[in-house]
Structures are given as C-alpha cells and as structure tokens.
C-alpha cells in the first residue's frame, strides 16, 4: 500500500535557511504544513537530518514512498538581489575603468 509521503528539503532564500519536513506528497506547497518543519543553517545539516528521518521511518516499517525530495536548486541559493563574488568583482572592475 502506498503512503504517498516524502521527506522534503527546501531552501528559504529570504531567511537563508533549510527546512526539512516529512509530509504527504500533495502537501508540499502547503505553508501551514511547513510551519512545523525542522530548520537548519546549512545544507549538509538539513540533508543529514532528512536521512536520519528516513532511517528512523524505515526501521519502524514506515518508509516514505518518495524518499528524500529536495525542493531547491543547489546551484542557485543566492537571493536575486545578492551578487556572487565574481559578479561583484566584475562590477567593481568595470566601475574602476
């Protein structure tokens, strides 16, 4: 029988935190569900917590059907208005020329 759940990991660009939550696949966009999520300052800590939740659920026979599901792009964690170091350097080099 399908349990229709996953352990979701998402990144909040405004707060710059990672959130981890075990919930129904259909509830992944429900902000009320995310209100009880575990919060982590680093991606590695969030992924470690997600794996620990998965192991705990699996050992009790409640393995999430969809496993661990990241809801973020690991290559695009910066808020839109924040420059990368390369962009900042290039903009300052252009201004100095």
Name residues of the chain where pLDDT drops below 50.
Answer: 1
User: What predicted TM-score, i.e. pTM, was given to this entire model?
Assistant: 0.78
User: Can you give the pLDDT at residue 65?
Assistant: 93
By the 8 A CB rule, do 49 and 40 touch? Answer: yes
| CA distance linking residue 12 with residue 9, whole number of Å | 10
Reported residue count of the chain is 97
């Amino acid at each position: 029988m399908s349990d229709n759940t996953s352990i979701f990991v998402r990144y909040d660009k405004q707060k710059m935190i990672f959130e981890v939550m075990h919930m129904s696949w259909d509830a992944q966009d429900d902000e009320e569900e995310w209100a009880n999520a575990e919060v982590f300052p680093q991606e590695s800590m969030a992924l470690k917590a997600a794996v620990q939740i998965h192991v705990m659920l699996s050992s009790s026979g409640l393995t999430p059907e969809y496993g661990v599901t990241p809801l973020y792009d690991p290559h695009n964690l910066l808020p839109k208005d924040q420059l990368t170091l390369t962009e900042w350097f290039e903009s300052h080099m252009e201004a100095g020329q």
